[in-house]
């Protein structure tokens, strides 16, 4: 048997003859021998297919895609720079898309820093102007009688008038809270409600 460039070339079968010319070749032994050779090559072939399949899978298992790694590095850089709010991150992403700069280049840019500071100042001004009258109005505060009592105004006749948007289920709570606190005429009056006698 010979092997040429991964090809197997089997020796020709040589027939054996006795002195009288009769065939004395052990065909069963030859068949078993060739069957064994074929089985060995089949096993080697199957193993080589497995090795090639594993080699193809290895590069995918080695590391995460570069895009995911870059996003994680960007997020770390933004957090360390104090950029955590969604609108600030959106500004950074816009800069990254528009300019094509790397993270460090954007964060070091004086123009980006000025835009970021302008964004933060705008948010701070909006928060400050929304709180001019005191505490910010929350839904929890609107469910308290004191909130609606503070919103009440005196009508021309001296009676208290409450805003229309006051929930009707709070009328009794407000009345209970104000019990004993009467207006000039001694009457409590809600907006668009008849006078109480």
pLDDT in tens, 104-155: 889 899 999 999 898 888 888 887 777 665 555 555 577 787 787 788 777 7
First to last CA, the chain: 122
Q: How far apart are alpha carbons 96 and 102 in whole angstroms?
A: 7
Q: Is 195 helix (H, G, I), strand (E, B) or coil?
A: coil
Does residue 71 contact residue 103 with C-beta atoms inside 8 Å? Answer: no
How many CA atoms lie within 13 Å of 136's alpha carbon, on the beta-carbon side?
Answer: 7
- 171 lies in a domain? yes
- 67 lies in a domain? no
Domain that holds residue 189: 137-197
- 97 lies in a domain? no
Here the tokens at position 143 are 């469910």
- Report which of 103, 23, 97, 93 is spatially closest to residue 70, judged by C-alpha positions: 103
Does residue 84 contact residue 78 with C-beta atoms inside 8 Å? Answer: yes
Task: From residue 19, give the alpha-carbon distance in Å to each of 15, 22, 23, 24, 54.
Answer: 13, 7, 10, 10, 57
Q: How far apart are alpha carbons 43 and 100 in whole angstroms?
A: 54
Stretches in the chain below the pLDDT threshold 50: 183-184, 196
Q: Is 35 helix (H, G, I), strand (E, B) or coil?
A: helix
- 180 lies in a domain? yes
Predicted local distance difference test score (pLDDT) of residue 111? 92
Q: How far apart are alpha carbons 75 and 92 in whole angstroms?
A: 11
Predicted local distance difference test score (pLDDT) of residue 134? 54
Q: How many residues does the chain have?
A: 197
- 169 lies in a domain? yes
Does residue 153 contact residue 161 with C-beta atoms inside 8 Å? Answer: yes
Does residue 16 contact residue 24 with C-beta atoms inside 8 Å? Answer: yes
Residue 146 sits at the vertex; the CA angle it makes with 143 and 152, to the nearest 5 degrees, is: 105
- 38 lies in a domain? no
Predicted local distance difference test score (pLDDT) of residue 195? 53
Number of domain units in the chain: 1
- 185 lies in a domain? yes
Task: From residue 22, give the alpha-carbon distance in Å to each of 12, 31, 49, 189.
Answer: 19, 20, 46, 133
- 192 lies in a domain? yes
């Amino acid at each position: 048997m010979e092997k040429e460039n991964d090809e197997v070339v089997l020796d020709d079968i040589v027939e054996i003859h006795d002195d009288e010319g009769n065939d004395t070749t052990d065909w069963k032994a030859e068949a078993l021998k060739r069957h064994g050779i074929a089985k060995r090559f089949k096993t080697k072939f199957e193993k080589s297919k497995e090795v090639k399949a594993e080699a193809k899978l290895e590069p995918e298992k080695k590391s995460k895609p570069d895009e995911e790694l870059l996003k994680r590095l960007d997020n770390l850089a933004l957090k360390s720079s104090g950029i955590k709010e969604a609108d600030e991150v959106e500004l950074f992403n816009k800069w990254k898309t528009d300019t094509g700069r790397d993270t460090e280049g954007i964060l070091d840019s004086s123009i980006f820093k000025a835009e970021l500071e302008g964004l933060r100042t705008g948010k701070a001004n909006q928060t400050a102007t929304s709180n001019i009258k005191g505490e910010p109005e929350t839904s929890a505060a609107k469910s308290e009688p004191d909130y609606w009592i503070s919103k009440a105004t005196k009508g021309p006749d001296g009676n208290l008038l409450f805003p229309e948007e006051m929930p009707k289920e709070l009328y009794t709570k407000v009345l209970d809270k104000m019990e004993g606190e009467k207006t000039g005429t001694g009457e409590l009056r809600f907006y668009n409600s008849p006078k109480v006698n």
